[in-house]
Amino acid sequence: MKLPLAVLFAAMAFGAGAAHAKTFKWTSASDIPTWDIHSQNNALANGVHASVYESLVYYNSRTFKPEPMLATSWTQVSPTQLRVTLRTGVKFHDGSPFTADDAVFSLERAMSKTSNFTVYTQGVTKVVKVNPNTIDIISGGPNPVLVNQLTELRMMSKAWAEKNNSTAPKDIKTQDENFAHRNANGTGPFVLKEWQPDQKIVLVKNPNWWGKAEGNVTEIVYTPVRAVATRMAALLSGEVDFVLDPSPQDLPRIRQDGNLRVIDGVENRTIFFGMDQFRDELPGSNVKGKNPLKDQRVRKALYQAIDINAITRVSLRGLGQATGAIVAPQVAGWNESVHQRYPFDVAAAQKLLADAGYKDGFEVDFACPNNRYINDEAICQAVTAMWARVGVKAKLRTLPLSTYFPMIQRFEASIYMLGWGVPTFDALYSLQSLVRTLGTGGDGNYNVGRYSNPKLDAVIDRAKTETDPYIRPRLLTEALAMQNEDVAHIPLHNQIIPWAMKKNIDVVHRADNRLDWRLIKVN
């Protein structure tokens, strides 16, 4: 860490000297891969980076609407030009001021070739400095989710990056590490004091932060603990205050423990089944010459044969919210009507199968990950049994995520499980990746069942450029309803993410499974 001593001393003095020094110790399974903010698009790291590096806008932790951070306001000058006014008087941890140059530099850094954040700069063609505290973001076409994208684009000091040879994000082609991989210099409420990869991250409060923290934490210590039993033991023995990913089977015990508590929140991630609707004959199936999954009645039968309440109650131990939509309630485009599921009805499912010509059911290949989503394997086993009741013999195979995802991306699964989070909180993100016919520019990039519906594509394509605040949500809802009508995918549930902590810890549960560092209270 090369920070001016003054800042570090001030920060340490605050940590040690203040009458109410509060340390917040937390854990989860893995460490962040890097401190370089544009190097790897890793969910945990993005959340941790936000403590040190701030973005122009960020989602409010309670409402999930974008709110000003390093930008104070933004206006759409034209459909392709967003004018952003920057906050003045903000200083980086090394004492240098935050200006338009830094903002332009950071956004360009995120757009550069070695960045993994180009997904958040999609559509942006260039960034222009207007004056020392105003920038223009120019996009190739109208981009209704640009402001949402800005929430994941954090700001780095230009001068610092240039001085330390870190102007380009680190990637695997870069020989060894760059300076920004182990060191950090942002504008955020916390200063990176120490990082020992896979062992410990220590953050101390930034005494010169521009904002006002609601929380009272002066030091944050993160220690990744891989084995879940050890993680839970560390909480029970009081060595950590907070566990981001407690084990589901230990939750009842923790809920009953007088010194601990659990906060549940619906994660912005929907679990669903996809189906191969492209092949004319499914490998591994006893139906020859045709693909039963191409028939909407068959898909609906599989849907209605699933007793979702049994799954959320038993397989998930309550950690799931049944849904009929492929997006979670926080996402723009969601409403109560698309959330409604087709009812669980074995007789109806049998009738649909008989109508489709599969009175005696059929055999089909069924693949699930076994270490990606909450109790994924258990869910798939339960569903296999439920489908067996209507005569569909699903041949389940479960794989670890490192082999599962490449496998489904090679289109090898007939029925597969997938969970989809929505970082932009806008249904277009899901519709485009999951439902839109496979194409270019991210279209259908996870539509690995290769579902294709030209009418639905047309609605999705309109939503891509529609910026009108009244028409746009309606388009999204319409597309979600059409996906339900056609049973393009079988939605299951939105994951409920439990956070376990000591009784004296106060945090706000965010739908993106991140802590908001400004709001943590240690009582």
Partner 1 sequence: MFAFILRRLAQAVIVMVSVAFIAFMLFQYVGDPVVFLLGQDATADQVRELRAELGLDQPFFVQFWHFLANAVQGEFGLSLRQGAKVSRLIAERFPATLELSMVAAVLALVAGIPMGVYAALRRGTFMSQVFMTVSLLGVSLPTFLIGILLILLFAVTLGWFPSFGRGDVTQLGWWSTGLLTPKGWHHITLPAITLAIFQLTLIMRLVRSEMLEVLRTDYIKFARARGLTNRAVHFGHALKNTLVPVMTITGLQLGGLIAFAIITETVFQWPGMGLLFIQAVTFADIPVMAAYLCLIALIFVVINLIVDLLYFAVDPRLRVEKAGGH
Binding site for partner 1 (CB under 8 A): 30, 33-34, 39-42, 116, 119, 170-177, 181, 196-200, 223-227, 229-230, 233-234, 236-239, 371, 400-403, 405-406, 409, 433, 440-442, 445-446
Cβ 255 to partner 1 shortest distance, Å: 17
Phi, psi of 3 (to 5 degrees): -115, 150
- What is the Cα–Cα distance from 243 to 228, expressed in whole angstroms? 10
- What is the Cα–Cα distance from 149 to 65, expressed in whole angstroms? 12
Cβ 234 to partner 1 shortest distance, Å: 5
Distance of CA 521 to the CA centre of its chain: 24
Check: CB of residue 76 under 8 Å from CB of residue 138: no
364 versus 435: smaller Cβ distance to partner 1: 435
Residues in a beta bridge with 81: 78, 138
2 versus 359: smaller Cβ distance to partner 1: 2
Cβ 432 to partner 1 shortest distance, Å: 10
Q: Is 318 left (phi over 0), alpha (psi -120 to 50) or beta?
A: left
Distances (CA, A) of 151 to 204, 266, 425: 23, 20, 11
Cβ 263 to partner 1 shortest distance, Å: 22
Cβ 42 to partner 1 shortest distance, Å: 8
272 versus 387: smaller Cβ distance to partner 1: 272
Q: H or E element: which one contains 146?
A: helix 146-150
6 versus 401: smaller Cβ distance to partner 1: 401
113 versus 288: smaller Cβ distance to partner 1: 113
Residue 391 identity: G
Cβ 24 to partner 1 shortest distance, Å: 17
194 versus 281: smaller Cβ distance to partner 1: 194
213 versus 235: smaller Cβ distance to partner 1: 235
Cβ 512 to partner 1 shortest distance, Å: 14
Cβ 447 to partner 1 shortest distance, Å: 12
Check: CB of residue 218 under 8 Å from CB of residue 22: yes
173 versus 288: smaller Cβ distance to partner 1: 173
- DSSP β-ladder status, 81-86 and 242-243: unpaired
42 versus 437: smaller Cβ distance to partner 1: 42
Cβ 368 to partner 1 shortest distance, Å: 15
DSSP state of 366: E
21 versus 233: smaller Cβ distance to partner 1: 233
HEC profile for 402-460? HHHHHHHHCCCCCEEEEEEECCCCECHHHHHHHHCCCCCCCCCCCCCCCCCCHHHHHHH
Cβ 240 to partner 1 shortest distance, Å: 9
Cβ 230 to partner 1 shortest distance, Å: 5
2 versus 200: smaller Cβ distance to partner 1: 200
188 versus 224: smaller Cβ distance to partner 1: 224
18 versus 227: smaller Cβ distance to partner 1: 227
- What is the Cα–Cα distance from 198 to 9, expressed in whole angstroms? 26
Listed in sequence order, the residues at least 6 apart from 13 whose beta carbon sits closer than 8 Å to its beta carbon are none
Exposed / middle / buried, residue 304 (Cβ in 10 Å: 0-12, 13-18, 19+): buried
Q: Is 370 helix (H, G, I), strand (E, B) or coil?
A: coil
Distances (CA, A) of 357 to 275, 350, 366: 19, 11, 21
- What is the Cα–Cα distance from 461 to 442, expressed in whole angstroms? 12
Cβ 403 to partner 1 shortest distance, Å: 4
When computed from its CA atoms, the radius of gyration of the chain, rounded to whole angstroms, is 24
- DSSP β-ladder status, 505-506 and 489-502: unpaired
- DSSP β-ladder status, 393-399 and 363-369: parallel
> Which token pair is 480?
């979600």
Cβ 459 to partner 1 shortest distance, Å: 21
Half-sphere exposure of 322 toward its Cβ, with a 13 Å CA cutoff? 17
Q: H or E element: which one contains 78?
A: strand 71-78
Tokens 């209605």 found at: 304
> Which token pair is 294?
């191409």
